[in-house]
C-alpha cells in the first residue's frame, strides 16, 4: 500500500537495531512495498572496512580511515555494492569484515565523514534507512523510527543461515560470541552508540515472520499524521 498523504519533507523510516536483528531484510521489504529508496548504512561501514583492509590501514587509525572515506569510490546499483567499480556485495558480508566494520565505526571522525553520503539517500518519494544511528543521529526528524530487537539465540541462528546461504562456513557458538562482542562494542562506544531514539517504536522480531514485522511497520507508518 503506497502512502497517499502529502508529507512536508521527503518521508524517512529509520530501522535501527543490533546485528542480525532482521533489519536488512525487513528494511528492504518495507522499501519495496512503499516504493521507497533504501539505505543500508552498515554496507557503507563494511565497504570502508574492506577498503581499509586492502590499503593496510589499521582499524585503530581514525584519522587515516576518515581520509579514506573521503576518497572512497562507492556505488550501489540494483542491490549490488561496488567499490572502485567492482561488485563486492558478497565480500562485504563476511564475518571478519562485519567485525572490522564494527571496530572502525567507533571513530567519531569516520562517522562524521559518512554523514553526507548517508543523507544524500533521502530523495522522493521516500527512504527506508537501516543501521545503528539512523533515528538518533542521521535522520533525527524521521517520519517513523523503529528499533528492532531479537533474542541473541534467534539472531545467531539467522546469521548462521545467512552465512551458509552465501557459501561462508559458520559455527553457532562462534557466532553467538561474536555477536555479543559486537553488540557490546556498538552499544558502548562514545560516538553514536547503538540505542533506540527516545521517540522510536520497539519491535521484538524473535517470534515474528518477516512479513509480520513488515506489516507492523507499514501499519505504524500509515498511522503517522501527515
Ligand atoms: O548492520 P551491519 O552488520 O552491516 O553493520 C556492520 C557494522 O557497522 C556494525 O557492527 C556497526 C557499524 N555500523 C554503525 O556503526 N552504524 C551504522 N549506522 C551501521 C553500521
Residues 101-153 have pLDDT tens digits of: 999 999 999 999 999 999 999 999 999 999 999 999 999 999 999 999 999 99
Q: Report whether 194 contacts 6 (CB < 8 A).
A: no
Residue 2 included in any domain = no
Q: How far is CA 1 from CA 105, 211, 213, in A?
A: 35, 14, 15
Domain that holds residue 190: 12-213
Q: What is the pLDDT of residue 78?
A: 79
The pTM assigned to this predicted structure is 0.91
Q: Report whether 104 contacts 55 (CB < 8 A).
A: no
What's 51's domain CATH number?
3.40.50.300
Strands 201-204 and 144-149 turn out to be parallel
CA–centroid distance, residue 87 to ligand 1 (Å): 20
Ligand 1 within 6 A of CB of 102: yes
Q: Report whether 45 contacts 69 (CB < 8 A).
A: no
Ligand 1 within 6 A of CB of 11: no
Q: What is the pLDDT of residue 2?
A: 52
Residue 221 included in any domain = no
Ligand 1 within 6 A of CB of 121: no
**Regions of the chain where pLDDT drops below 50:** none
Atom of ligand 1 nearest to the CA of 130: 18
Residue 223 included in any domain = no
Best probe residue, ligand 1, of 117, 132, 139 (max atoms within 8 Å of C-beta): 132
Atom of ligand 1 nearest to the CA of 16: 18
Q: Could you tell me the three cell numbers for 149?
A: 530487537
Location of C-alpha cell 570502508: 48
Amino acid at each position: 500500500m503506497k502512502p497517499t498523504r502529502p508529507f512536508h519533507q521527503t518521508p524517512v523510516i529509520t530501522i535501527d537495531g543490533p546485528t542480525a536483528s532482521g533489519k536488512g531484510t525487513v528494511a528492504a521489504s518495507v522499501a519495496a512495498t512503499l516504493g521507497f529508496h533504501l539505505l543500508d548504512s552498515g554496507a557503507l561501514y563494511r565497504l570502508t572496512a574492506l577498503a581499509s583492509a586492502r590499503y593496510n590501514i589499521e582499524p585503530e587509525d581514525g584519522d587515516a580511515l576518515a581520509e579514506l572515506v573521503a576518497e572512497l569510490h562507492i556505488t550501489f546499483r540494483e542491490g549490488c555494492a561496488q567499490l572502485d567499480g567492482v561488485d563486492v556485495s558478497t565480500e562485504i558480508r563476511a564475518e571478519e569484515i562485519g567485525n572490522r566494520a564494527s571496530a572502525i565505526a567507533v571513530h567519531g571522525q569516520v562517522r562524521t565523514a559518512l554523514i553526507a553520503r548517508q543523507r544524500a539517500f533521502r530523495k522522493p518519494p521516500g527512504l527506508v534507512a537501516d543501521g545503528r544511528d539512523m533515528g538518533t543521529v542521521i535522520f533525527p526528524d524521521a517520519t517513523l523510527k523503529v528499533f528492532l530487537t531479537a533474542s541473541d539465540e534467534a539472531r545467531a541462528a539467522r546469521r548462521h543461515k545467512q552465512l551458509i546461504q552465501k557459501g561462508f562456513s559458520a559455527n553457532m557458538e562462534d557466532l553467538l560470541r561474536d555477536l555479543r562482542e559486537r553488540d557490546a562494542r556498538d552499544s558502548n562506544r562514545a560516538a553514536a552508540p547503538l540505542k533506540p531514539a527516545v521517540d522510536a517504536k520497539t519491535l521484538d522480531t524473535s517470534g515474528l515472520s518477516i512479513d509480520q514485522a513488515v506489516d507492523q511497520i507499514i501499519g505504524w507508518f500509515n498511522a503517522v499524521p501527515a
